[in-house]
Structure 1
Amino acid sequence: MFIENAQQLTDCPFLTIVRGYHDPKSPNKNVDEQYPQQEKIFLNIFQIGLFETYHFLYSECRGDEHFKNWIIGLKGADFYQQASLKFNQWYQGEGNAANTSFVSILSEAQHRFWEENGYIKIEGLIDAERCNAVTGLINETLGVDISNPQTWYNDHQLLQGLMLQLYQHETLDHIRNDERLKAVFASLYGLDALLPNCEKVSFNPPVNGNFTFKGSPLHWDIDFNIGPQYYIQGLLYLNDVPVNRGPFSLIPGYHHKIEAELQHKDPKILIEELKEQNLSIPVTGKQGDLILWLQAIPHAATPNCSDLPRYVQYLSFNRY
């Protein structure tokens, strides 16, 4: 694909670094230890998803100009221009945001609950109109007719288990870029130098005689070579999720125990033990409710035994 006037846009030299790092023909890489965080900021500023970017780099990309044109095709030339300028400034140390303190919008009781349990539910954060717009996008992408249950189980190349690798649409951006959403994350991080991650969505249809639950069992999303960090994960219920509609589940308070347990247990063994102990609780909610949890909290989706699908948009932020 050739983008007219792409040559006239501001160059982003980091594209070459990203492409080189993920070039399957260059398995031996000497990469600066700062690279993983730099790549995260690159994805944040250009507002592209991890999965879609890696898929392109490993299966399609033919060079730097092809990578550049792919981003322009997704985001537009004007967006690419502004993102290149912003990232170049950050990368050169000129546009780094100061990690200033942030006045929390959460109550003392909410902070105490968060500190004790490692998760929190913020009720009614996003309005029904924006939630419905995303469920409509998911339905359109998957060919789902909500009035026809036979269409709820369609296969799609972007659907992996419950996860739909869908990143680029204004309805998703309207929620990711919500100021109150950022303020909640900022309240828990204690700073407002945050950029939204370009995250996926989820579609969890009811189980039946022909369809079994496709979700992952209890797990962490942790790189155990590094260990648990103070990283906040999140999801938004796009429709009502009572206890029988596959609510998110977790083990509250486990962030107080994980480091001690990992000193004498392998993470794979530990998570299997936790599964057997049945310590998880469901976190039900209404449309527009936001659920946040610490990386150290074991969590999982649950089977949907209701009469409607469950819809979720994942949300998180990266500090910079």
Structure 2
Amino acid sequence: TLSMAAANAVHWPERSWRLKYLSEAQYSLWESQGYLVIQDAVEKDKCVAAARAVKEFIGTDDDDPDSWYKNTLDIYADVEADGSKPVHGPCGMVQLFHHASFWSIRQSVRLHAIFSDLYGCHQLYVTTDRAHFKPPERAEHPKWSMPGDVHSGLHWDVRTDERHWPVPFGLQGVVYLEDTDAEQGPLHVVPGFHRQLQNWSKSQPADRSSRKPSADSLPLSAATAVAAPAGSLVVWHSALPHGPGRHVGTRPRVSFYVSYLPVDATAYVGVGRNATAPLNLADAGTIAFEEDPGQVSRLTRAERVDRWRLRLPLLAEDPREGELSRPPPGEEGAPPAALSALGRKLVGLDPWTNAQHSDDACEDDTEREAGQEGAE
């Protein structure tokens, strides 16, 4: 468990449940480091299908490196000539939120089991986040070496100033759709920072940024590059500073953001908050959370259902499918994704029936052993 000093800054529930998928060694690493890499969390064929959808959507070809760089508009500020929103740009983010291949991953029993072990509860919602495609830096494509302030250096997706302590127990995750090495500028995290935030913050100016540490106070070199093979899940506590590194490799980096959040947040918000307080940006579903978390609430169950039913993006400010320059590959005007029994609960259509961390959240022993053998 966290020390008292660390607990003042970061909320971390004391574990009282039996693990069903993760090993004790993995959970111990999770508590000490604040992040975890689980190899083989997603089947390779699902990763291949999702990566193919991403590349088709943004118009790239593995055998044509020039195609990797053709989308040069800023997805946040620019528009295409016809007034539509760009689907991809130098920050690497891909504005694809709903595709059958994505939902195949989101409804994974294995992923749900992993997050259930970390929360100690299987009653979870799944997020409707986007994908990422980042090619290597090249002198002949200078715009791709300037991803913008949002995607440079380290940041948090929660407020970390003392006025907003303790940082809630919210988890974030990314699945590597293809093998990703350190030279490709993968996710970087500062290991164990959930235990260091209080002391670090005391050494900073009172008016420090709550969401982005200065490069002097916390440089990217202080973070660990998380390299892992295709199918790996990287999950981290929102209190960990994180961000991408420089891509100096030879192949594009292709990944997909996915996370789960508890239906009942009472045990995870921390002292002084009610259960409607968002655990992080994804839980709020709006950028307004970044300005003043106290003025926004968690997405309701109905709002989460609408994310699936209306094929809406993660955040209210993100473009809808009809606003983008092209539709999802093979799914123009398509209905909501098909859902499994688990998927119906994860989007909020069907209620969960048991608040306990139960066996139905996990896979059989064979799957569990496979997950442990491939985990770091």
Pick the TM interval, shorter chain.
0.5 to 0.7
Partner residue in 2 for 1:275: 218
- Structure 1 position 195 matched with structure 2 position 125: yes
Change (3 A) 1:281 1:130: same
User: Does the 8 Å CA contact 1:102/1:186 hold for their aligned counterparts?
Assistant: no
Percent identical across equivalent pairs? 28
- Map Cα deviations across residues 202-250 of structure 1 (whole Å, 9 max, x no partner): 1111100023152331111113464421111110010011111122111
- Residue 153 of structure 2 corresponds to residue 153 of structure 1: no
Describe the shift of the 1:276–1:288 C-alpha distance in structure 2 as closer, same or farther (beyond 3 A): closer
Taking the TM superposition and a 5 Å limit, the aligned residue runs for 1:21-32 are none
- Indicate how the Cα distance of structure 1 residues 152 and 257 shifts in structure 2: closer, same or farther if over 3 A, else same: same
Structure 1 segment 27-176 matched on structure 2, within 5 A: 103-155=19-71, 157-159=86-88, 161-176=91-106
**TM-score relative to the length of structure 2:** 0.55
Alpha-carbon separation, structure 1, partners of 2:17 and 2:63: 48
Aligned partner letter, 2:116: A
After superposition, the CA RMSD in angstroms is 2.1
- Misfit runs of 4+, over 6 Å: none
Q: How far 1:103 sits from its partner (Å)?
A: 4.1
Amino acid corresponding to residue 239 of structure 1 in structure 2: E
Is the CA contact 1:237–1:288 (under 8 Å) kept in the aligned structure 2? yes
- SS at 1:244 equivalent: helix
Aligned AA for 1:315? V
Match of 2:333 in 1: none
For the Cα contact (< 8 Å) 2:153–2:220, is it kept in 1? no
Pairing 1:258–2:193 present:
no
TM-score, length-scaled by structure 1: 0.65
For residues 119-149 of structure 1, the C-alpha deviation after alignment (integer angstroms, 9 at most, x for no partner) is 0000111121110111111111111011000
Alignment gaps of 5+ in structure 2: 1-15, 74-85, 264-376
Match of 2:178 in 1: 239
Q: 1:318 aligns with which of 246, 261, 269?
A: 261
For the 8 Å contact 1:249–1:283, the answer to whether it is kept is yes
Which of 241, 248, 256 aligns to 1:305? It is: 248
Matches of 1:143 and 1:311, distance apart in 2: 14
Distance 1:180 1:131, change over 3 A: same
Q: What count of residue pairs does the alignment treat as equivalent?
A: 221
- Tell me the alpha carbon deviations over residues 157-204 of structure 1, each in whole angstroms, 9 at most, x when there is no partner: 022511112111110000011011011011001101101011111111
Unaligned runs of 5+ in 1: 1-99
Tell me, in whole angstroms, the C-alpha distance in 1 between the residues paired with 2:131 and 2:103: 12
Instruction: Please give the secondary structure, in 2, of the residue aligned with 1:291.
Output: strand
2:369 is matched with which residue? Answer: none
Structure 1 counterpart of 2:235, from 292, 302, 307: 292
